[in-house]
Amino acid sequence: MTVAESSGTQGAVRLDELPWTEVASHLRGDARLLLPIGSTLQHGPHLPLATDSIVVTRLADALSARHGVLVAPTLPYGVVSRVEQEYAGTSSIGRKTLHRGLNDLVGVWETQGVDEFILLTSHGYGPHIAAMATVVSERSRVRSVDIHSVDLGDFLEGRTGEQHGGELETSLMLHLAPDLVRRDEIADAPLDPSDQGRRVVGEEPVPERGSPGVVGTPSLATAEKGRRTFRYLVEFIGDRVLADGSES
């Protein structure tokens, strides 16, 4: 079984793979657009910098395949802490830059018939989330979804909301892109509860300067946890955001 088959991403309706005529036709029947927002960000020595982008892309594709919603290309850059900008390869755009860019995209696409945008991310850094959450439109509905706001405690042993490169992301990557996980580089660095207020920004902790970059317990990760967690995220977000529109 391929990753696409196991993650339910086959059948996704990707905007960039269609000619404009088919996009226009699709929007006449379903005027919603999923916009995945990732990052190019260190997740420790065992995970690739594209971790957030890979997870959110696969999640958006699975939601598109299940609900028939058009999905836009993933934005691979997000807002990153100053500490993590010191790790080789990590990139960052400013909060205002991300906000303006998203507003620009919404402004163009809504003139073409999109009347609801679902901004989706797996990067929980506070300023990144704030940039997404404040995107507004007078003509279209804009909804912002961060996977870290979903309670995943039933699937993971560690504390899901206070890890970076930890059990959650490592499990998801073991399921979605196992060849990109360097298992021999996995090492735990749990967050001391006394440091929570200082280091957690939004839904994501910032690693100590000069550390390998992990906050949490990636050694607890398994592909099965990733599979179950991913399936739950698809069902939870789909049922509450795409199926009945009752929750943002």
Is pLDDT at 233 greater than 90 in this prediction? yes
- 170 φ/ψ angles, rounded to the nearest 5 degrees: -70, -40
CATH number of 3-243: 3.40.50.10310
**Does residue 247 have a pLDDT over 50?**
no
Mean pLDDT of the chain: 92
- Taking Cα atoms as reference points, which of 91, 63, 64 lies closest to residue 77? 91
Total-model pTM: 0.93
Taking alpha carbons only, the member of 76, 3, 85 closest to residue 39 is: 76
| pLDDT tens digits, 73-129 | 999 999 999 999 999 999 999 999 999 999 999 999 999 999 999 999 999 999 999
pLDDT at 7: 59
Q: Any residues with CB less than 8 A from the CB of 21 and at least 6 apart, and which?
A: none
pLDDT at 200: 82
pLDDT score recorded for residue 162 = 80
pLDDT at 220: 96
- Chain-centre distance of CA 234, in angstroms? 12
- Please tell me the distance from the alpha carbon of residue 54 to that of residue 76, in angstroms, as a whole number: 9
The stretch 17-36 carries a mean pLDDT of 97
Helix (H) / strand (E) element for 102: namely helix 95-111
Phi/psi for 216 (5° steps) reads: 135, -160
State the Cα–Cα distance between residues 152 and 156, nearest whole angstrom.
7
Q: Please write the tens of the pLDDT for every residue from 133-192.
A: 999 998 999 999 999 999 998 998 865 458 999 999 999 999 999 999 999 999 999 887
- Identify the pLDDT of residue 138: 87
Percent of all residues in the chain with a pLDDT value above 70, rounded to a whole number: 93
Buried b (16+ CB within 10 A) or exposed e, 168-193: bbbbbbbbbbeeebeeeebeebebee
In this prediction, residue 6 has a pLDDT band, given cuts at 50, 70 and 90, of low
Residue labelled with tokens 């993590």 = 84
- Judge whether residue 248 has pLDDT over 50: no
- DSSP label at 91? -
Kindly tell me if the per-residue pLDDT of 230 is higher than 90.
yes
